[in-house]
Amino acid sequence: MSVPLARDGHRVVALDQSQPMLDALEARRARLPAAVRERIEAVRGDLRDFALRRRFPLVIAAFNVLEHLYTRVELEACLRAVRRHLAPDGLFAFDVQLPDPAWLARDPDRRWARTRFTHPTTGKRVWYSTSHDYDPVSQIAVIRLYYQPEDGGPERAVLLSQRKYFPAELEALLAHSGLRVVERRGDFQGAPLGPGCESQVLVCRSSTGSAKKPSNPRR
């Protein structure tokens, strides 16, 4: 998201714990026009404990990143850090998936989402499928992503863990951390949150900030 925001004229501080991700951003940044390049600052930091010593009108946690905070303690630490970095009337926007009980209850011994695609680097045809285990106590799904070359080469499996946050629970956790929800949607086009939605898109303010709603919260 950093490059599109910078191209739109915004100054961006991109925070990531992964040095390879920051290196990839820097390589992309080097190819940008100077005016855009200068609007992006990359910082290595932990989502649960970052201190940039400044405040921002908008903090964004995109693409389900909060689902990698597996415990209430971790999420609260992140939300407190976000709140410390919000300007007095600043906004915090983020998305997480809307848990689907039918998906969570799927048989963990079966393969799902079987799809054939062309590998972007090798050009070979590859079969993709998934399986997962879900712990209803920790609310963590451990997802296995399988990649099987169509020509019969060795299968590769990648693990992905995600903490599932239910809507009422999420609103309570935000309130406990001093944030209040001012906008909640079911997708990035502004659809109402409800059955059939894949995402929860939330915009929040500090609970001690202005009560005024954002003029264009989905931008």
What is the average pLDDT across 81-96? Answer: 97
Decide if 178 contacts 76 (C-beta within 8 A): no
**Statement: residue 214 has pLDDT above 60:** no
- H or E, element range at 36: helix 34-37
pLDDT digits (tens, 9 = 90+) for 16-54: 999 999 999 999 999 999 999 999 999 999 999 999 999
Amino acid at 137: V
Concatenated DSSP letters of 57-86: EEEEE-TTGGGG--SHHHHHHHHHHHHHTE
- The predicted model gives 110-137 an average pLDDT of 96
Mean pLDDT across the chain? 94
DSSP 15: E
Q: pLDDT, tens digit, for every residue of 126-181?
A: 999 999 999 999 999 999 999 999 998 899 999 999 999 999 999 999 999 999 99
Confidence at residue 215, expressed as pLDDT on a 0 to 100 scale: 46
d(CA 132, CA 139): 13
Q: Which of 52-66, 136-150, 199-213 shows the lowest mean pLDDT across its residues?
A: 199-213
Tell me, what amino acid is at 76?
E
In a 3-state reduction of DSSP, which class is residue 28?
Answer: helix
CA distance 38 to 23: 16
pLDDT the model gives residue 210:
52
Q: Examine the pLDDT at 200 and tell me if it is beyond 90.
A: yes
Confidence of residue 209 (pLDDT cuts 50, 70, 90): low
Strand ranges across the sheet with 156-163: 112-118, 125-135, 140-149, 156-163
Region 186-211 average pLDDT: 90
